[in-house]
Amino acid sequence: MGDIGGMLRIKLSNRARQTPPSPIRKLAHLAQRAKRAGTGVYHLNIGQPDIESPEEFFEGLRLFKQKVVAYDLSQGNEALCSAWSRYVNKTLGLNTSPEEFLITMGASEALVFLFMTCCDPGDEVIIFDPTYANYIGFAAASGVTLVPVLSDMERNFALPPLEEIEAKMTNRTRAILLCSPNNPTGTVYTDTELKFLLDLCEENNIFLIVDETYREYVYDDLEPLSIFHLAPRNERVIVVDSLSKRFSLCGARIGCLLTTNPEVLSVTLNIAQARLAAPTIEQFASAYMLDHIKDGYLEGVRREYQARRDTLYQALSSVPGISAHLPKGAFYVIVRLPVDDAERFAAFMLEDFSVNGRTTFIAPAAGFYMQNSKGRQEARLAYVLERPDIEEAVKVLEAGLQAYPGRV
Amino acid sequence: MGDIGGMLRIKLSNRARQTPPSPIRKLAHLAQRAKRAGTGVYHLNIGQPDIESPEEFFEGLRLFKQKVVAYDLSQGNEALCSAWSRYVNKTLGLNTSPEEFLITMGASEALVFLFMTCCDPGDEVIIFDPTYANYIGFAAASGVTLVPVLSDMERNFALPPLEEIEAKMTNRTRAILLCSPNNPTGTVYTDTELKFLLDLCEENNIFLIVDETYREYVYDDLEPLSIFHLAPRNERVIVVDSLSKRFSLCGARIGCLLTTNPEVLSVTLNIAQARLAAPTIEQFASAYMLDHIKDGYLEGVRREYQARRDTLYQALSSVPGISAHLPKGAFYVIVRLPVDDAERFAAFMLEDFSVNGRTTFIAPAAGFYMQNSKGRQEARLAYVLERPDIEEAVKVLEAGLQAYPGRV
């Protein structure tokens, strides 16, 4: 509390003042300013797909004829839970039931709920570093301590060795949280790795939470793998899922958690009741879409992302000084840049650099690491643009690296 | 942790296991069961208006032509912030700016954000008992201690005397939270009462948070009153607002917080970034609606609720043993029933009682009191049905009171 101009400042909480801005969005104001000044911006910073949302979603939207946009159920619209269950059963060969779903406002809300359900303040969840940056925000919101185990670019960000994970387990560890395919690294964990984590959770009697937002986006010879393939009725397993990326519906804010554990479902529902319900119209349209989406839709999108990945990887490979690993899933890659500080470089690109009136916006990776200093020279790139734009974006990036005064 | 059938149960958090179900929704499964058995249910339990959402909202929905349902800005859609600001400036004579708005998923999310922004875990917020039950859930989620000051049915739930409020202030008090017009009591606080709270917050250098979700629903000779009428540029004032009740858009999940305090806006935005954004399509349609809604719309709805209030109050007045106060705003009233326990009575109505195949669902009031025992004989009734249905619902309630074995 400080005395400013004779008026006492009103105290804000420490947790709020200490909540870091999203590394994906923190430089957004610089991008806005660049755009206002007439500079075109290639957005490699954010996982906002440019692929059109399915026509079936918009059809569902048009079919919404209720006269009152009323609250839906706190656990989620019944038609949506049924449609989602049918959809994963059909496309993945699973055996889920609608009552095992709890619909949330994006995967984000599912994770906040689960942190509250699994952990009291100060309890610990093990994650793998680098991690999806917003996990850090959800942990701050729920008073959970994230305990990072470092994964390594040189090993394609594979699961760290057993002893490194075990060394981080304490009597306050309540869950391991894994995102596979991974944001921000693009790594797809193998069934051996998943089984290994499952055993570890069994031995320690804790939850295994798997964020499968990017499940279908796996490349080369890989097939979509859900933790439920390996442990179909295991009550310590909770899947977090979302329509955001799979159907280019980020703005619909429709996610879910999925578990056969009745106690988790019932206490999480009590928490969910306080926020009443997820949006009614988007749930209605999503249910219609899941029931009517064409069989080939996702395969088409998957192929497109695989081609973009190849384009990006190839383009990056020819840039001197950049190291990148080959991502096997999702639509991200972590790269190491020949710069003193990737955040300063990202700001430089937006504020001071352009080629033919265009610049490239990248997300500095430090914010994806709990151990910030680890990612200081790294950036996350999302390949959510068309291939020619990806190629141009990398050319601009290369030119920017040449011009940047902090190049190392 | 217990040993069940040879398997160790997986530990859930204490906070989750202790989160009470919503008093409004906790008996919903009994209502579902009654409906499945063919019994019609008059819903007086939940503030879900039956009044049609404005045609302008659906027009906005039809005008949404974006091909990708992309994330909107974390602070909210720019057109919506502008439209909402113009709307309150025009209809209330205020002088707000779009950048003073942060769009949230209903008033619910705004309150969770503010608890996190204003309070560290264990910090205190003063509320008035009975209170909107979900405030208790938001406080549990954010680790905030709510400190209730009891208001009194005999005094129409007016603001408690100064000394009773001051007696609850400690060095951990960070805000006073008021809902006016009030849910669950229907009380409208006077400008004298609001000024009084404002002075108290000034003296103690804390925030005044006013939930104005029901602002326009005031009856008899009252005019809509915002705290910003009394303190237009006061940085300790934060308004929470919502389109849910005003436009029968509960399911759209569109709310906001509104303050001239730049520090509150900026740190709350960091928290908001973790959950990415509010739903895109509902924001788009809401912006269109606020720009195009007809001037007379709200006055028509207000008159309808006033007529329903009169119908309900009159119907209740003729029921022996019920005490009710005359609510001046919102669409709720707290009544005292001649029963041993209003929750048992509410369950009895759903499980064991009907008249001509219909029963009445009321919300037991104990869950609206921090001091649970205070509301044991009370219930909250929402007058969100058409007048003939309200009359019938009260007749069924009266007959139920006659038949209930726990009548006192």
Confirm or reject contact between B83 and chain A (CB < 8 A).
Answer: no
Write the pLDDT tens digit of every residue in A298-328: 999 999 999 999 999 999 999 999 999 999 9
Residues of chain A contacting residue B267, judged by C-beta atoms under 8 Å apart: 12, 16-17, 19
**Out of B120, B137, B281, whose CB is closest to A13?**
B120
Residue B304 tokens read as 């309808």
pLDDT of residue B8: 67
Q: Give the C-alpha separation, B290 to B82, whole Å.
A: 10
Contact: A22, B134; criterion CB under 8 Å: no
Write the residue in B123, B270, B279 that is nearest to A251 by C-beta: B279
What's the fold here for domain A13-51+297-403? Answer: Aspartate Aminotransferase, domain 1 (3.90.1150)
Q: Which of B9, B70, B267 sits opposite A19 (nearest CB)?
A: B267
Contact between B239 and B257 under an 8 Å Cβ cutoff? The reply is yes
Judge whether A181 and A217 are in contact, CB under 8 Å. yes
Q: Which residues contact A32 (CB under 8 A, 6 or more apart)?
A: none
pLDDT digit string, tens, across residues B232-268: 999 999 999 999 999 999 999 999 999 999 999 999 9
Q: What is the mean pLDDT of residues A120-138?
A: 94
Q: How far apart are CA B312 and CA B309, in angstroms?
A: 5
A19 vs B105: CB contact, 8 Å cut-off? no
From chain A, the residues in CB contact with B21 under 8 A are 269-270, 273
Note whether B240 contacts A: Cβ–Cβ < 8 A: no
pLDDT reading at A92 higher than 50: yes
Tell me the nearest-neighbour CA distance from A393 into chain B, angstroms: 21
Chain B residues with CB-CB distance to A206 below 8 A: 10
- Superfamily holding B22-47+297-403: Aspartate Aminotransferase, domain 1 (3.90.1150.10)
Computed on alpha carbons and rounded to an integer, the radius of gyration of chain B in Å comes to: 22
Give the gap in angstroms from C-alpha B14 to the nearest C-alpha of chain A: 6
Quick one: what percent of chain A has pLDDT higher than 70? Answer: 98
Closest residue in B to A73 (Cα) is B25
Q: Contact, B373 vs B150, CB < 8 A?
A: no
Kind and range of the H or E run holding B4: strand B3-4
User: In which band, very low, low, confident or very high, does the pLDDT at A7 lie, cut at 50, 70 and 90?
Assistant: low
Cis preceding linkage at B262, omega within 30: no
Question: For residues B334 and B189, what is the distance between their CA atoms, to the nearest angstrom?
Answer: 16
Tens of pLDDT, residue by residue over A149-186, are 999 999 999 999 999 999 999 999 999 999 999 999 99
Q: Measure in Å the smallest separation between the Cα of B245 and chain A Cα atoms.
A: 10
In chain B, residues with a C-beta closer than 8 Å to the C-beta of A236 are: 10
CA separation for the pair B70, A52 (Å, rounded): 10
In B162-279, which residue ranges form alpha helices assigned H by DSSP? Answer: 162-166, 191-204, 227-230, 262-274
**Mutate which: A7, A48, A276, vs B, most B CBs within 10 A:** A276
Q: Residue B70 and residue A270: Cβ atoms within 8 Å?
A: no
Helix-helix angle A387-403:A342-352, to 10 degrees? 100
Residues of A in contact with B142 (CB under 8 A): 141
Q: Would you call B55 exposed, middle or buried from its count of C-beta atoms within 10 A (0-12, 13-18, 19+)?
A: middle
Chain B nearest CA to A318, separation (Å): 32
**Helices (DSSP H) in A167-275: which residue ranges?**
191-204, 227-230, 262-274
The pLDDT of residue B4: 43
A263 interfacial to chain B (CB closer than 8 Å): yes
Q: How far is B168 from chain A (nearest CA, A)?
A: 19
Residue B64 and residue A61: Cβ atoms within 8 Å? Answer: yes
Radius of gyration of chain A (CA): 22
Q: What is the pLDDT of residues A331-375, one digit of tens each?
A: 999 999 999 999 999 999 999 999 999 999 999 999 999 987 889
Residue ranges, CATH 3.90.1150.10, chain B: 22-47+297-403
Whether B117 and chain A come into contact, CB under 8 Å, resolves to yes
Contact B248 A69 (CB under 8 A): yes
- List the single residue in B with minimal CA-CA distance to A9: B205
Closest chain A residue to the Cα of B77, Cα to Cα: A251
Strand A40-43 to A7-8 pairing: unpaired
Chain pair A-B, CB pairs under 8 angstroms: 243
Residues whose CB is less than 8 angstroms from the CB of residue B339 and which lie 6 or more positions away in sequence, other chains included = B345, B377, B401, B404, B406, B407, B408
A1 touches chain B (CB under 8 A): yes
Which regions of A133-245 does DSSP assign to beta strands (E)?
145-150, 173-179, 207-211, 237-242
Q: Which residues of B touch A68 (CB under 8 A)?
A: 48-53, 248
> Which portions of chain B are predicted below pLDDT 70?
1-8
Please give, rounded to a whole number of angstroms, the shortest distance from the CA of A319 to a CA of chain B: 31
Cα–Cα nearest to A51, from A382, A404, A401: A382
**Residue A6 pLDDT more than 50?**
no
| Location of structure tokens 């045609």 | B55
Whether residues A250 and B17 touch (CB distance < 8 A) is answered with no
Asked if B107 and B101 touch (Cβ cutoff 8 Å), the reply is no
Distance from CA of A317 to the nearest CA of B (A): 30
B167 touches chain A (CB under 8 A): no
Q: pLDDT by residue (tens digit) across B175-232?
A: 999 999 999 999 999 999 999 999 999 999 999 999 999 999 999 999 999 999 999 9
Query: Does the CB of B145 have a partner CB in chain A at under 8 Å?
Result: no
Pick the residue from chain B with its C-alpha nearest to A133.
Answer: B274
Token duo for residue A318: 């020819």
* Cβ contact, residue pair B264, A12, below 8 Å: yes
Phi, psi of B59 (to 5 degrees): -60, -45
Q: How far apart are CA A73 and CA A243, in angstroms?
A: 19
From chain A, the residues in CB contact with B17 under 8 A are 267
CB atoms within 10 A of CB B130: 27
* Min distance B43 CA to chain A CA atoms (Å): 13
What's residue B7's pLDDT?
56
The closest CB to that of A12, out of B9, B117, B273, belongs to: B117
Beta carbons of A61 and B57 less than 8 Å apart:
no
Q: In b/e form, how buried is each residue of A186-199, taking b as 16+ CB within 10 angstroms?
A: bbbbeeeebeebbe
Which of B7, B8, B10 is the best mutation test for A, with the most CBs of A within 10 A?
B10
Domain with CATH 3.90.1150.10 in chain A: 13-51+297-403
Q: For residue B59, what is the nearest residue in chain A, using CA coordinates?
A: A62
CA angle B110, B112, B114 (to 5 degrees): 70
Chain-chain contact of B69 with A53 (C-beta, under 8 angstroms): yes
Task: Give the model confidence (pLDDT) of A283-306 as tens digits.
Answer: 999 999 999 999 899 999 999 999
Cα dist from A53 to A21, A27, A252, B68, B395, whole Å: 28, 27, 10, 5, 51
Q: Which residue type sits at A89?
A: N
pLDDT at B1: 38
Kindly tell me the burial class for residue A27, based on how many C-beta atoms sit within 10 Å of its own C-beta (0-12, 13-18, 19 or more).
buried
Q: Is the predicted pLDDT of residue A66 greater than 50, yes or no?
A: yes
Which residue's structure tokens are 């449609």? A83
Q: What is the CATH number of domain B55-292?
A: 3.40.640.10
| Cα B219 to Cα B225: distance, rounded to the nearest angstrom | 12
Residues A8-48 have pLDDT tens digits of 688 899 988 888 777 777 788 899 999 999 999 999 998 88
Helical residues (DSSP H) of B143-261, grouped into ranges:
162-166, 191-204, 227-230
d(CA A382, CA A328): 13
Q: How far is A348 from chain B (nearest CA, A)?
A: 22
Rounded CA-CA distance B372/B363 in Å is 14
Asked whether residue A5 carries a pLDDT value surpassing 60, the answer given is no
Answer whether A15 touches B (CB < 8 Å): yes
How far apart CA A233 and CA A268 sit, in angstroms, is 19
Identify the three-state secondary structure at position B33.
Answer: helix
Contact list in A for residue B47 (CB cut-off 8 A) is: none
* A 296-355 residues inside an 8 A Cβ radius of B: none
Q: How much is the pLDDT for A279?
A: 97
Tokens 């055996």 belong to which residue?
A: A95
Greatest Cα-to-Cα distance within chain A, rounded to the nearest angstrom: 67
Could you tell me the CA-to-CA distances from B288 to B53, B56, B98 in Å, in that order? Answer: 13, 7, 15
CB contact under 8 A, B10 and A68: no
Query: Chain B residue with minimal CA distance to A20?
Result: B270
Interface of A with B in 187-206 (CB under 8 A): 205-206
Residues 6 or more apart whose CB falls under 8 angstroms from that of A194 comprise A178, A180, A210, A225, A227, A230
- Mean pLDDT lowest among A95-99, A191-195, B20-24: B20-24
A20: contact with B, CB 8 A cutoff:
yes
Q: Rounded to whole angstroms, how far apart are CA atoms B359 and B43?
A: 9
Report pLDDT for A26.
79
- A69 and B53 within 8 Å at the Cβ level: the answer is yes
Q: Is B17 on the interface with A (CB under 8 A)?
A: yes
